[in-house]
Amino acid sequence: MRRQSILITLILFLFNGSILADDVGIAEVRLIEEENNTYSFEVDIPPSLLATIQSPILPSHCSFIGNPEQVSVGPMRVVRYRFSSGDTPLLAEDELLLFWQRSGVVVTAYWLDGSSQREFFDRELAGIRIPVNRLRELEINKVFLLRRGLMDAISHLGRFWLLHFLLLLACSMFAKPHNLAKLILSFATGHGLSLIAADLGITSFQSEISPIMMGLASLMIFGTIAYHKQRELRFWPVLMVMGLMHGLSYTSISFNQPVDLTLLQLITARLAFNTTLDIFHALVATGLGALWLYIGKRKFSRYIHTGTVYLAGGLSLTSILILLPASLSTPLAMKNQLNPTLPASSSPRSITPTPSRPVELSDPLQGFITITPFEIRCEWLIRARDLDPHTVKSESGKLTISTDEQRILKDDLILRFNKETLVAVDGLQLDASVIQADFVSVGNYGVTTRPAPIAEPVNEAVIGLTMAFVLAEAPSQVSVKLFPYPEKIPSIPLTFTDPWGSTSELLTRESSTVNWKRRMAGFRRPTIRAVSLEPVTWPVLTIIMLIVAGVILFFTRRRWSINLRYTMIIITFVIGVATYPFVRASAPISLSRGVPAEEKLEKAMHQILVNIYRAFDYRTEEAIYDRLAISASGDQLALIYLQHRSAMEIENRGGARASVDDVEILEISDIRPLEGGLSLRASWMVSGSVNHFGHIHYRKNRYKALIQLTSQDGALKIKGIDVEVEERVL
């Protein structure tokens, strides 16, 4: 009995091992918005891998509705989690967290307004994070950016309030009231200078250093109070440098959009971030200054003052010691990010296919209908023996179908299905744009075509027939009818697959038409827009205010009182900083020439590549070429078209091409000016997926190329491209 148990365990282990060996570790997920702030979160997973997933971690204001549901659809199991977001819908700052044993997920979000978004998310150390803002297009205006900067400032104070308070406490204990205002304004001046530094392209340093420097500044002031009680040193330059460092440490808002924000948008958000902190500093410093004035008139004030200095100084030193290890470990973490390692399931060796065990069809005819906003693809699996083919005996004595007979069978099926398959969209019948048939091998991991015709055993032979119907717009209702209904077949199982799930239907002689209906009619096709570098602009009003402040500082010394001079300088400073990102003018052409920064080119190249890959979402060559022309010059159109078709084809899948889910720029280097444009070396990663005969297949390629860009009609376009590295990653 024990031997039998061991044998059964070994067999099960080997069986699961063969499944996992071919598993790429990527799950297909859908987030569907329903009525009344309720949502469905669905995942397609093979039954053998159910243990690798569990309930997602929801935002704090969300709660699950009922228990998870499981539905079998074809070879996959669909697990559905329903949840409510309370009184408000999902917010841009919300995120879902998956503690799944998966290398990544492809998430398709579908919203009630008809918009949709499809994104790829890799696994991180903390799990698979799914920020909602990456799944929904939002209007990024000035109000939104200012709000995000305010929220980031509040979040920052929630983490580092003690360090800010200690610094303000040190300033209020050290300086007299009029000098306290000078210290607070010095820190705010440093914040304002950080906006100018960022606008000039000065990169930031580690954000972990700024809190440590604030702790050191507090410790320095407390030490001065303790050992130089009668001597008031000038600490305003220190506070100004602190404000500059603090402003440069937090260079971007915590908002991860698929389309990167421009530099001016980041400066706008940072202005709100800095201003919120400066207002907080002014209010707290005013309160602390008034408190010390009150304590100074009380008995035992000296002992309270001295005790506070040593206690607060000790807290400053403790904070430094706590934050220092994290600051020292950051450079190593950044180095690891520059040299990432691929997950085990995404390593290059995973591209070697594991032999798939043949699977015999349980039905003479099976249908798989894939519906996208751009096309409908009808795929049929047909058992060859039910077609009564002419057979010959092989040397081993098996009955086989010769290659000549295979050609006759395929041609006959193409004619019959082209005539007898009726597909209608919103009541309008469509004609197939592509129809092809191949003898295929059906295994546990999908359908593969024969690389070369062979004599097929009649009892194992399967024909895969594909029909594609191009759509002018996203459908709301699709009907499929097989006419006349085959007499030898009692029923035909159908699987409808759309971007938001799969459903099973059954064609019978009594009901030979099936209907599909979804909320896809309002689908907005991906935006393909011309790309141009962000123009160089100058903050004209800020420059004028700086000039006015200089005039007041140097030419009114004998005419105006000190208080009036300082008041006017503060007013001009506030006006200059507040209008910095808003009142601007284009720079003269002579000032805007030169090689653009890597940051700007990285954003431009990302959008150009997204445009190119999104163009292939369309299905007719004319539509593809029209959209490629937005980001590529005429000489490169045909080359890019052919290269993309070849790169994203799934091997041995009958010409099935993966649609791109994600484009990631890895590096931009070797930027050089050329006549009429520039050249650069870029490396990027492209992830894509395709549903083929009920199975989802994934591709991930890495490229490195020397690219020439030119400016035509005010837009950047690819003039030339020399691919140096094309590597299959997945």
Q: Tens of pLDDT along 488-517?
A: 788 888 888 876 677 788 888 788 888 887
Average pLDDT value for residue range 83-94: 86
Are 396 and 471 part of one and the same domain?
A: yes
Distance between CA 433 and CA 435 in Å, rounded?
Answer: 7
Distance between CA 29 and CA 730 in Å, rounded?
Answer: 19
Are 656 and 724 part of one and the same domain?
A: yes
Nearest to 47 by CA among 24, 65, 29, 20: 20
Are 333 and 397 part of one and the same domain?
A: no
Are 610 and 495 part of one and the same domain?
A: no
Is residue 417 over pLDDT 70? yes
pLDDT averaged over every residue in the chain: 77
Which is it for the CA torsion 626, 627, 630, 632, positive or negative?
negative
Higher per-residue pLDDT: 621 or 463: 463
Are 168 and 306 part of one and the same domain?
A: yes
Are 321 and 181 part of one and the same domain?
A: yes
CB neighbour class for 601 (10 Å; exposed up to 12, middle 13-18, buried from 19):
buried
Exposure string over 705-714, b if 16+ CB within 10 A, otherwise e: bebbbbeeee
Distance between CA 176 and CA 173 in Å, rounded?
Answer: 8
User: Could you tell me if 103 and 127 are in contact, meaning their C-beta atoms sit under 8 angstroms apart?
Assistant: no
Higher per-residue pLDDT: 357 or 601: 601
**Which of 140-154, 223-237, 676-690 is predicted least confidently?**
223-237
pLDDT tens for each residue of 369-411: 888 878 888 888 888 888 888 888 777 778 888 888 888 988 9
Question: In terms of residue numbers, what domain contains 46?
Answer: 2-123
Tokens found for residue 155: 């979040």
Are 600 and 724 part of one and the same domain?
A: yes
Q: Which residues pair with 659 in a beta bridge?
A: 689
Q: Quickly state the pLDDT bin for 251 (edges 50, 70, 90).
A: low
Are 160 and 283 part of one and the same domain?
A: yes
- Structural domain includes residue 258: yes
- Structural domain includes residue 171: yes
Are 298 and 158 part of one and the same domain?
A: yes
Query: What is the value of pTM for the model shown?
Result: 0.60
- Structural domain includes residue 570: no
Q: What angle do CA 461, 462, 468 make, to 5 degrees?
A: 155
- Among 483, 517, 551, which residue terminates a domain? 517
Distance between CA 225 and CA 309 in Å, rounded?
Answer: 8
Residue 497's SS3 state is strand
- Among 467, 485, 517, which residue terminates a domain? 517
Are 203 and 258 part of one and the same domain?
A: yes
What does the pLDDT read at residue 150? 86
What does the pLDDT read at residue 62? 93
As a dihedral over the C-alpha atoms of residue 330, residue 332, residue 336, residue 339, rounded to 10 degrees, the angle is: 120
Average pLDDT value for residue range 124-135: 86
Average pLDDT value for residue range 581-589: 69
Are 331 and 382 part of one and the same domain?
A: no
What does the pLDDT read at residue 22? 41
Is residue 604 over pLDDT 70? yes
- Structural domain includes residue 561: no
What does the pLDDT read at residue 11? 34
For 628-678, give the DSSP string.
HTTTB-HHHHHHHHHHHHHHTBPTTSTT-BPEEEEEEEEEEEEEEEETTEE
Average pLDDT value for residue range 286-294: 88
**How much of the chain, in percent, has pLDDT values that exceed 70?**
80
The single-letter code of the amino acid at 171 is: C
Are 27 and 162 part of one and the same domain?
A: no
- Structural domain includes residue 32: yes
What phi and psi values does residue 27 have, to the nearest 5 degrees?
-110, 145
Number of domains composing the chain = 4
Q: Quickly state the pLDDT bin for 606 (edges 50, 70, 90).
A: confident
pLDDT tens for each residue of 140-177: 777 878 887 888 888 888 888 888 999 999 888 888 87
Angle between helices 177-199 and 236-249 (to 10 degrees): 40
**How much of the chain, in percent, has pLDDT values that exceed 90?**
5
What does the pLDDT read at residue 97? 93
Cβ-defined contacts of 57-66 (< 8 Å, 24+): 57/96, 57/97, 57/98, 57/99, 57/127, 58/83, 58/96, 59/85, 59/90, 59/91, 59/94, 59/95, 59/96, 61/85, 61/86, 61/88, 62/86, 62/90, 62/94, 65/38
Average pLDDT value for residue range 654-666: 75
Average pLDDT value for residue range 256-270: 67
Average pLDDT value for residue range 58-85: 87
What does the pLDDT read at residue 344? 35
pLDDT tens for each residue of 332-346: 444 444 343 333 333
pLDDT tens for each residue of 353-364: 444 455 667 788
Residue 373's SS3 state is coil
What does the pLDDT read at residue 83? 94
- Structural domain includes residue 693: yes
- Among 482, 499, 517, which residue terminates a domain? 517
Q: What angle do CA 332, 665, 597 make, to 5 degrees?
A: 85
Is residue 641 over pLDDT 80? no
Q: In this structure, what CATH number is given to the domain that contains residue 705?
A: 3.10.450.540
Residue 259's SS3 state is coil
In the block, residue with structure tokens 């659809």: 73
Is residue 233 over pLDDT 90? no
Is residue 649 over pLDDT 70? no
pLDDT tens for each residue of 41-68: 988 888 888 888 999 999 989 999 999 9
- Structural domain includes residue 412: yes
Tokens found for residue 358: 């043949």
- Structural domain includes residue 131: no
Residue 28's SS3 state is strand
User: Could you tell me if 464 and 654 are in contact, meaning their C-beta atoms sit under 8 angstroms apart?
Assistant: yes
Other Cβ atoms closer than 10 A to 395: 7
Which of the residue ranges 97-101, 346-350, 540-544, 569-573 has the most confident prediction, judged by mean pLDDT? 97-101
User: Could you tell me if 118 and 661 are in contact, meaning their C-beta atoms sit under 8 angstroms apart?
Assistant: yes
Element (H, E) at 144: helix 142-174
